[in-house]
Chain A
């Protein structure tokens, strides 16, 4: 990957990473963020979808290949109250206003990731869509190798099978 910027802030790195980092997961992210589908979100979606099939940039960086549930540290069956309180708990730690001094620069990215996860999972429609579209592909990527995942869900037949 080519990095044109030395700062820790995600400035333009290579095109793929630039988009890939933000579009996690690429296919669904856009619909998540914008309530009314605008001209722009359509552009996002199509551009992102294209990129997904050609480059799958997000798989280059393993830390990004986590589910929104993992980002919030909650089980897949979490209630909406659990989602909200997980979001608040993480915000109390990760929001740049409160993050420790040595993490100021990375906390904005961290908080944005947390917020993206929250804004999808706190909306029942988007959450259902996410579960359907992303997790199906996500499993096939080889999630079972991640033991953390099964820790969150007491009974998960897929991970059970792997073990």
Chain B
């Protein structure tokens, strides 16, 4: 759906010819970087990428929405400081961490220390999220909060650009599941925005890098195609991602991506727990007083973390009331020790990404560090140590790189031409997560492996496990865990009409297709050996099909059907 619309735009601009001075005829999609903590908007203005500012002249906007009476207000226009609103329980933030997650997710559990209500019942449905308004809990959802915020961003962009804004390219974390992407899509639809692309953050950075390298090569006239390989490490408040890109002539080829739900928020929570080890107990009742305390502790810890990027130690003094006072000097060494697990995970993520890209460290031309956490000395240090490098790439603002890349993609996907060739760009994306089905007992059998170049189409042949098995269940998952339930469920459907045959004879062909705009389709069909006609029509299913509360679907299916509709890969049969 997004794909066709994008292509229509491209044709519009082709028919309008070279007239670049008529941006209204082909609407340039804006780029939006929705951060866990901050958001920004950028657009191709006809000659370069420009960040849009709000009425207070800010280009980095706090990602939060405050619920007051009937009218929620977001961080784009709101005059009050985020820090104080946090104390009242009326401000909802960190929605990027919560969106599309069920209440059994550890990330949702760790969000319970936020100064608003996140309640989990551990049954595989969406968590209960609420803001405190006039001493009552007003429930909301991450999609609603995001949509309110996007409406404000859109209004801001429309004022600045003096035209309606409908088309957007949004950046997303690498580790987002396809289900989470549908929630982002829904939030955009609620805000009246049409998503041209959801672009993994480091690949947006890679596109900006590709443009910079192309421009540099043209300036220096160094001939053409010398390939540059870059490692991109992006760590914000909610997520961290890595990517390896090989770039030449404006084409950015993503060799590998890797992502994790790991960010400044984890560092912050570690520090809060360090300052107040009994925190979870103290705050468990979530009353007005507790929320205020949580907010105070949060503001103090956040401030300390920020200052430790430039100072060797910081003094923390925070009065939480009721004789609960915290006075402490926190050194950078302590900070690093408290967060050593976070840093270890960053290291393993980068190593995995380099391994998947099959590049040697010596082959890397540039190391690009972006995101708010790239200011933390330890993060800088560990990335540079892995890459055996002294200096990181200097050509980008770490807080603006992703949104600038998204704006470039927005212009390219809108079919805008630049007479100087500054938009002759292309990103060849790779799938961040493997996609497969449940088969061979309770195993996850990937059909498209992670880091496969898109568009892509792969198939595997399965067969039945019972004699005269007439039906088979295709349960589609996304992820890289061998135990099937640990992956993200995307949907399921049934293949019926398998002709009576001993087990292992019918061939069930399952094919997965990802197009260039990342739409996933699953095809499944039956083939009988020696027959040219399939006994039943093939099925084509667009994924994901699951909705909220899907956390328990797999379990329910298992309860209802056991192994009666199972499949095994054909290769297993050959081996036995």
Residues of A within 8 A of B (CB): 2, 4-5, 9-12, 14-15, 18-19, 22, 33-35, 38-40, 42-44, 46-47, 81, 84-85, 88, 91-92, 95-98, 100-101, 104, 108, 111-112, 115, 119
Q: Is the CB of B248 within 8 A of A12?
A: no
Query: Which residue from chain B places its CB closest to the CB of A4 in the assembled complex?
Result: B538
Subset of 17 A-B contacts with CB under 8 Å: A4-B538, A11-B538, A12-B509, A12-B525, A15-B534, A22-B458, A35-B358, A40-B446, A40-B571, A43-B574, A47-B461, A84-B227, A85-B248, A91-B428, A96-B516, A97-B426, A111-B455
Q: A11-B523, A12-B525, A15-B527 are in contact. Are A95 and B569 (CB under 8 A)?
A: no
- Establish whether residues B428 and A95, one from each chain, have CB atoms under 8 Å apart when the complex forms: yes
A84 and B428 contact, CB distance less than 8 A: no
Q: Cα distance A94–B428 when bound, in Å?
A: 11
The interface residues of chain B lying within 8 Å CB-to-CB of A2 are 532-533
Do A108 and B455 have beta carbons less than 8 Å apart? yes
> Taking each of A2, A15, A19, A35, which has the highest tally of chain B beta carbons within 10 Å of its own beta carbon?
A15
**Interchain CA distance A98-B250 in the complex, whole Å:** 13
Convert B214-239 into 0s and 1s, putting 1 for each residue whose CB lies closer than 8 angstroms to a CB of A: 00000000001101000000000000
Closest 7 CB pairs of A and B: A43-B571, A96-B516, A12-B538, A101-B11, A108-B455, A15-B527, A12-B525
Name the contact of B449 in the complex, choosing from A34, A42, A46, A97 (C-beta under 8 A): A34
Q: B459's contact among A22, A34, A91, A98, by CB below 8 Å, is which?
A: A22
Q: Is the CB of B569 within 8 A of A43?
A: yes
Q: Is the CB of B511 within 8 A of A101?
A: no
* Cβ-defined contact, B225 with A40, below 8 A: no
In the assembled complex, the Cα of A84 lies from the Cα of B224 at a distance in Å of 12
Query: Cβ of B377 < 8 Å from any Cβ of A?
Result: no
B569 to chain A: which residues have CB within 8 Å? 39-40, 43
A32 to chain B, nearest CB (A): 12
Q: Do A12 and B534 touch (CB < 8 A)?
A: yes
Q: Which residues of A contact B86 (CB under 8 A)?
A: none
Q: Kindly state the separation between the CA atoms of A100 and B537 in the bound complex, as whole angstroms.
A: 32
**CA A98 to CA B412, docked complex, whole Å:** 8
- In the complex, which residues of chain A have a beta carbon less than 8 angstroms from the beta carbon of B27? none
- Cross-chain contact B453 with A96 (CB below 8 angstroms): no
Among A22, A81, A84, point to the contact of B457 (Cβ < 8 A). Answer: A22
**New contact pairs (6) apart from A18-B459, A97-B516, CB-CB < 8 Å:** A35-B358, A39-B572, A88-B225, A97-B426, A100-B14, A104-B7
Complex alpha-carbon distance, A39 and B443, angstroms: 12
Q: Is the CB of B532 within 8 A of A14?
A: yes
Q: Which residue of A lies closest to B409 (CB)?
A: A97
Write out the residue numbers on chain B whose beta carbons fall within 8 Å of the beta carbon of A10. Answer: 457
Q: Do B251 and A92 have beta carbons less than 8 Å apart? A: yes
Checking B251, B412, B516, B533 against A108 with a beta-carbon cut-off of 8 angstroms, the contacting residue is B516
Report the nearest A residue to B10, measured CB to CB: A101
Q: A12-B525, A43-B571, A46-B574 are in contact. Are A96 and B515 (CB under 8 A)?
A: yes
**How many angstroms between the C-alpha atoms of A39 and B436 in the bound complex?**
13
Task: Report how far A149 CA is from B537 CA in the complex, Å.
Answer: 41
Chain A contact residues: helix, strand, loop or mixed: helix
Residues 490-517 of chain B: 1 if any A CB is under 8 Å from the residue's CB, otherwise 0? 0000000000000000010101010111
B572 — which chain A residues lie within 8 A by C-beta? 39, 43
Q: Verify B537–A85 contact, CB threshold 8 A.
A: no
Q: How far is the CB of A82 from chain B (nearest CB, A)?
A: 10
Which of A92, A98, A108 is the one whose CB lies under 8 Å from B515? A108
A12 to B527, CA, bound (A): 10
- B contact residues around A44 at 8 Å (CB): 460
Report Cα–Cα, A22/B445, bound state, in Å.
20
**B570 at the binding interface (Cβ < 8 Å):** yes
Residue of chain A at shortest CB distance from B248: A88
Task: Determine whether B270 belongs to the interface, using a CB cutoff of 8 Å to chain A.
Answer: no
Check A47–B570 contact: CB distance below 8 A.
yes
Is the pair A11, B540 in contact by a Cβ cutoff of 8 Å? yes
Alpha-carbon distance between A19 and B457 when the two chains are bound, in angstroms: 11
Interface residues of B in 250-282 (CB under 8 A from A): 250-251, 253
Which residues of A lie under 8 Å from residue B574 when comparing CB positions?
Answer: 43, 46
Contact of B511 among A12, A46, A81, A96 (CB under 8 A): A12
Would you call A112 and B456 a contact (CB within 8 A)? yes
Query: Which residue of the partner chain A has the closest CB to B453?
Result: A115
B413 is an interface residue with CB less than 8 A from chain A: yes
Check A91/B523 contact, CB under 8 A, given A4-B538, A40-B571, A84-B227.
no
Minimum CB distance partner of A34 in chain B: B449
- List chain B residues, Cβ under 8 A from A84: 225, 227, 248
**Alpha-carbon gap, A108 to B456, bound state (A):** 8
B249 interfacial contact with A, CB 8 Å: yes
Q: Nearest Cβ in chain A — how far from B423, in angstroms? A: 11
- The answer on a CB contact under 8 Å between B248 and A97 is no
1/0 per residue, CB under 8 A from A, across B517-536: the answer is 10000010101000011100
Give the chain A neighbours of B511 by CB distance below 8 A: 12, 18
Assembly CA distance A101 to B397 (angstroms): 35
User: Distance (Å) between the CB of B14 and the closest chain A CB?
Assistant: 7
Output the least CB separation between A85 and chain B (Å).
5
Cβ-neighbour of A15 out of B248, B424, B447, B507 (below 8 A): B507
Bound state CA distance, A147 and B324, in angstroms?
87
Contact B459 A19 (CB under 8 A): yes
**B34-50: which have CB < 8 Å to A?**
none
Contact of B249 among A40, A43, A88 (CB under 8 A): A88
Q: Is the CB of A92 within 8 A of B227?
A: no
Residue pair A43, B570 in contact (C-beta under 8 Å): yes
What is the CA–CA distance of A108 and B7 in the complex, to the nearest angstrom? Answer: 13
Contacts of B461 in A (CB 8 A): 43, 47
Q: Which of B418-453 contact A (CB under 8 A)?
A: 424, 426-428, 445-447, 449, 452-453
Bits for B328-371, please: 1 = Cβ < 8 Å to A, else 0: 00000000000000000000000000000010000000000000
